Amino acid sequence: MRPRRERRVAETDPGAMRMMDEFRTAGAVEALRAAIAAAVPRPVKLMEVCGTHTMAIARAGVRQLLPPTVSLISGPGCPVCVTAQGEIDAFLALGECPGVVLASFGDMLRVPGSTGSLETLKARGTETRVVYSPMDAVRLAAASPEKEVVFFGIGFETTVPTVAAALLEACRLGLRNFSVLSAHKRVPPALAALATDPELAVDGFLLPGHVSVILGLEPYRFLAEQHQIPCAIAGFEVTDILEGILHLVTQIADGRAALANQYPRVVRPEGNPTARALMERVFTPTDAVWRGIGPIAASGLALRPEFAPWDARQKFALDWDRFANVPEPPACRCGDILKGIASPHDCPLFGRGCTPARPIGPCMVSSEGTCAAYYRYQIG
Ligand code: SF4
């Protein structure tokens, strides 16, 4: 049986671009489903780290395709969801400074802070702008020299290079009325924290395709080599995800741990060195607080000292310390869900007090949030 399973992975993994329909044919899906069912040796708990995977898995009904011995749990890969309550509060507090325009991706608009959201601030008269890229915020600053445009930098290594590029453009243009509040997060330190968490004890990680486009393979190797946890980088089509799961259950069946790259048509082993250089030119690792997980050493990114004029933390005289340990909304279990130790159904507010129309926690607001995925696709 073993050669059959390996052939299936090889056949569906040529490392070349293919037409979208090829990822969705019933035959390919059924073959992968059967291969996973044949390979899985015992009940296993696999974590999909990435919020885009969480949504793709829910949308495609991947859980229904898997044998009951394979359970998928969602991890801390939704950038909006892991943004700490204190970071959200700090950004909202900047809106009270004279002349400030708060610029953010649309996902943040309805995420509740302790006393409101960007949306409620806007209703009260604070100037807010939804932007589609950090460069839009730079353009806004260039067009409004009398304003102070503050961009909320959230997200992982996928997004950070674009923020770095925007900031360098603001420098080049001499725009002193543009700044960034960095709440960026780095994925590998969070994975290290999860790998050593005895409460979690996952059997394998399905790793994020788009973060890996930037990072490449090296930053994940410690998971297999030091922690003996099987890993597979996967794309976002249904067959990509099933192939990633097949890689994981095959490793578990063989009693080995390795790092598989299911997504070689997009993820190169070396990643994108140009994007990483851009990121490293502007940002430096710093300790950061993740919602649910708590503080993790070197898991955030701060602007380098030479960019202080564009760093909102340096530019605005807020009492920054008061945002260090802000509690999450009472009764909201986003933290436990992000840590993989609770499901949305464990939250008494799910679908009752908390819905996408009236969200209480970020996991219900974000387009990549686990609660939003469970609610939208009625996952039981
Ligand atoms: Fe938080 Fe709402 Fe999810 Fe409950 S259902 S964990 S309140 S986001």
Beta-bridged to residue 162, according to DSSP, are none
CATH number of 81-183+271-287+297-323: 3.40.50.11740
How many angstroms does the Cα of residue 372 sit away from the middle of ligand 1? 9
332 close to ligand 1 (CB < 6 Angstrom): yes
How many angstroms does the Cα of residue 329 sit away from the middle of ligand 1? 9
**How do 148-153 and 100-104 pair as beta strands?**
parallel
Q: Which of 82, 328, 346, 347 to mutate to test the pocket of ligand 1 (most atoms within 8 A of CB)?
A: 347
Q: Where are the domains of the chain?
A: 81-183+271-287+297-323
Which atom of ligand 1 sits closest to the CA of residue 365? 8
Which atom of ligand 1 sits closest to the CA of residue 362? 8
CA 194 – CA 293 distance, rounded (Å) = 9
What is the residue-averaged pLDDT of the chain?
91
Residue type for position 202: V
> Residue 12: what pLDDT?
46
How many angstroms does the Cα of residue 88 sit away from the middle of ligand 1? 17
How many angstroms does the Cα of residue 319 sit away from the middle of ligand 1? 29
The pLDDT tens digits for 302-318 are: 999 999 999 999 999 99
363 close to ligand 1 (CB < 6 Angstrom): yes
Which atom of ligand 1 sits closest to the CA of residue 337? 6
Q: Which has the closest alpha carbon to 94: 165, 158, 38, 147?
A: 147
Quote the DSSP letter at residue 346: G
The whole-model pTM stands at 0.90
291 close to ligand 1 (CB < 6 Angstrom): no
Lowest mean pLDDT among 16-30, 205-219, 311-325, 333-347: 16-30
Does 52 score more than 50 pLDDT? yes
How many angstroms does the Cα of residue 292 sit away from the middle of ligand 1? 12
347 close to ligand 1 (CB < 6 Angstrom): yes
Mean pLDDT of 120-127: 92
Mean pLDDT of 237-241: 94
Quote the DSSP letter at residue 185: B
Does 56 score more than 80 pLDDT? yes
How many angstroms does the Cα of residue 272 sit away from the middle of ligand 1? 36
Buried/exposed 21-36: b ≥16 CB within 10 Å, e otherwise: eebeeeebbebbbebb
Does 20 score more than 80 pLDDT? no
372 close to ligand 1 (CB < 6 Angstrom): no
| pLDDT band per the 50, 70, 90 thresholds, residue 18 | low
> Residue 77: what pLDDT?
87
How many angstroms does the Cα of residue 344 sit away from the middle of ligand 1? 7
> Residue 23: what pLDDT?
63
| pLDDT band per the 50, 70, 90 thresholds, residue 358 | confident
How many angstroms does the Cα of residue 349 sit away from the middle of ligand 1? 6
* % of the chain at pLDDT higher than 70: 94
138 close to ligand 1 (CB < 6 Angstrom): no
**How do 294-303 and 283-290 pair as beta strands?**
antiparallel
> Residue 325: what pLDDT?
83
The pLDDT tens digits for 194-230 are: 998 888 889 999 999 999 999 999 999 999 999 999 9
CA torsion through residues 21, 26, 30, 33, sign: positive
> Residue 175: what pLDDT?
97
> Residue 379: what pLDDT?
84
The pLDDT tens digits for 30-44 are: 999 999 999 999 999
The pLDDT tens digits for 173-193 are: 999 999 999 999 999 999 999
Residue type for position 104: S
Does 167 score more than 80 pLDDT? yes
Does 9 score more than 60 pLDDT? no
| pLDDT band per the 50, 70, 90 thresholds, residue 2 | very low
361 close to ligand 1 (CB < 6 Angstrom): yes
302 close to ligand 1 (CB < 6 Angstrom): no
Does 13 score more than 70 pLDDT? no
**By three-state DSSP, how is residue 187 classified?**
helix
